[in-house]
């Protein structure tokens, strides 16, 4: 649970034991293994992890956005608004997608349909989920563009995506995601494709909108700097599992999982000496052909013991609201 900053009204989104498998020609790939987390209304949950750690797949599994086949959700329960999203009919799920759960994707350059005007694409969810007619949808679309800080909203509604810059397109994507006043906004690396100044603008915008609209936000990124600036609570993912979960301050001050520590060490220091080499985590993340029987971080871990090779650790609470999936949490490698 997050610390007292947000009202505790029970989680709006509760995921437990989610398992997603891809059936590829080369065999199964276990992309998401037993992921559990929750999200409270008004909370901003950061999800970090390197490429292929299962961040995006987890979030897309929640609302049925993965192509099935090849994807298959083996197990798990996702409760949202009194519904189990994994066992609802397609129609209900569709009403939730874009209606109650908004999604912002990574690449704003390709995420908008190039052949329709921004106004049309913005009006689509409004007309579908809110039952608005063309004129009402246009009025609301203009408000949304103003909300995300796009000037001349009325004229820009008739523009096509290619007439917008990358940052402006991402604002449009956010406006689309926010169109129907969602309870949860899932932002999948929304600033990764943008340059730093635009990224800062989008982050400011998100902080502002979140307090204004009071929705829960899941922010996927691999940038710990972004997480530090925006999140309330952080999930660290590795090899398709959540390896550590903590409030943001706690995580940065007191990382328990060796992967989290390694990740924090890779942040280059601007004030450090120039000669200093960038810290890297040696090795490659695993591609899991089967459900893991050992700790997925085993090969790259510097505090691994025999036990880590025999069984996969589950998440254990190490402090209040802070848990880590490690047998040796907080262990310091023996200098050598």
Partner 1 sequence: MLTFTIRRLVFAVPTLLFIALVIFLLLELAPGDPMAQVPLTVPPEVKEAMRQALGLGEPVPIRFWKWLVQFFWIEPQVFIDWLTNKSFLFGWLPDTDVYVPCSDATRAYCDQRVISWQTRSPVMDIVMQRMPQTLTVVGLSYVVGILIALPIGIYSAYRQYSVFDQVGTFVSMIGYSVPPFFSGVLVIVVFSVVLGWFPSIYDTTHRVTDWDSFVYQVKQMIMPVMVLALQTTAQISRFMRASMLDNLNQDYVRTARAKGMTEWVVVLTHVLRNSMIPVVTVIALGVPAVFGGAIITEQVFKVNGLGQLLITAIQANDLPMVQTITFIFAILIVLFNLIADVLYGVLDPRIRYD
**Residues found near partner 1 in the complex (CB under 8 A):** 63, 65, 94-99, 102-103, 105, 107, 110-117, 121, 124-125, 128-129, 160, 162, 173, 176-177
Cβ-based nearer residue to partner 1, 170 or 260 = 170
Q: What minimum distance in Å lies between the beta carbon of 111 and partner 1?
A: 5
Cα angle at 198 between 251 and 137, to 5 degrees? 105
Cβ-based nearer residue to partner 1, 216 or 313 = 216
Cis peptide before 196 (omega within 30 of 0): no
Q: What minimum distance in Å lies between the beta carbon of 305 and partner 1?
A: 42
Q: What minimum distance in Å lies between the beta carbon of 255 and partner 1?
A: 33
Q: What minimum distance in Å lies between the beta carbon of 64 and partner 1?
A: 9
Q: What minimum distance in Å lies between the beta carbon of 284 and partner 1?
A: 26
202: which residues sit within 8 A by CB, 6+ positions away?
167, 170, 171, 174, 190, 191, 194
Q: What minimum distance in Å lies between the beta carbon of 86 and partner 1?
A: 17
Cβ-based nearer residue to partner 1, 62 or 246 = 62
Q: Can you give the three-state secondary structure of 263-325, one letter per residue?
A: HHHCCCCCCCCCCCCCCCCCCCCCCCCCCCCCCCCHHHCCCCCHHHHHCCCCCEEEECCEEEC
Cβ-based nearer residue to partner 1, 94 or 249 = 94
Cβ-based nearer residue to partner 1, 170 or 241 = 170
Cα 128 from Cα 137, distance rounded (Å) = 10
Q: Residue 116 — φ and ψ, nearest 5°?
A: -120, 150
Cβ-based nearer residue to partner 1, 48 or 66 = 66
Cβ-based nearer residue to partner 1, 112 or 308 = 112
**CB–CB of 39/218 below 8 Å?**
yes
Cβ-based nearer residue to partner 1, 137 or 303 = 137
Q: Which of 334, 328, 333, 335 is nearest to 257 (CA)?
A: 328
Q: What minimum distance in Å lies between the beta carbon of 94 and partner 1?
A: 5
Q: In terms of DSSP H, where are the helices of the chain? A: 55-62, 90-96, 118-129, 134-147, 153-156, 166-178, 196-213, 224-230, 248-253, 258-265, 306-310
Q: Which of 215, 217, 245, 214 is nearest to 231 (CA)?
A: 217
Query: Hey, what are 33's tokens?
Result: 């293994």
Q: What minimum distance in Å lies between the beta carbon of 30 and partner 1?
A: 22
């Amino acid at each position: 649970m997050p610390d007292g900053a947000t009202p505790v009204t029970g989680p709006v989104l509760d995921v437990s034991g989610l398992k997603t498998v891809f059936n590829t020609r080369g065999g199964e790939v276990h992309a998401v293994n037993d992921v559990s987390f929750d999200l409270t209304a008004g909370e901003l949950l950061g999800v970090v992890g390197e490429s292929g750690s299962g961040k995006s797949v987890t979030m897309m599994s929640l609302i049925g956005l993965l192509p099935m086949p090849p994807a298959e959700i083996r197990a798990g329960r996702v409760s949202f608004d009194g519904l189990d999203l994994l066992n609802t009919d397609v129609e209900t799920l569709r009403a939730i997608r874009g209606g109650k759960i908004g999604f912002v994707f990574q690449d704003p350059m390709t995420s908008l349909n190039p052949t329709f005007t921004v106004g049309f694409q913005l009006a689509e969810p409004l007309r579908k989920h809110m039952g608005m007619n063309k004129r009402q949808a246009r009025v609301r679309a203009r408000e949304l563009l103003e909300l995300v800080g796009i000037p001349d909203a009325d004229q820009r509604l008739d523009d096509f995506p290619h007439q917008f810059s990358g940052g402006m397109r991402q604002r449009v994507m956010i406006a689309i995601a926010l169109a129907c006043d969602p309870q949860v906004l899932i932002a999948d690396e929304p600033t990764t494709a943008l340059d730093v100044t635009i990224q800062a603008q989008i982050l400011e915008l998100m902080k502002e909108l979140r307090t204004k609209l009071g929705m829960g936000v899941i922010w996927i990124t691999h940038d710990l700097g972004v997480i530090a600036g925006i999140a309330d609570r952080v999930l660290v993912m590795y090899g398709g599992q959540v390896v550590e979960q903590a409030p943001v301050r706690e995580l940065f001050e007191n990382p328990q999982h060796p992967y989290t520590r390694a990740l924090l060490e890779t942040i280059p220091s601007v004030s450090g000496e120039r000669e200093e080499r960038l810290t890297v985590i040696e090795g490659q993340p695993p591609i899991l052909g089967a459900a893991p029987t050992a700790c997925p971080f085993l090969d790259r871990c510097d505090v691994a013991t025999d036990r880590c090779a025999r069984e996969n650790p589950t998440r254990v609470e190490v402090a209040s609201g802070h848990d880590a999936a490690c047998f040796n949490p907080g262990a310091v490698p023996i200098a050598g």
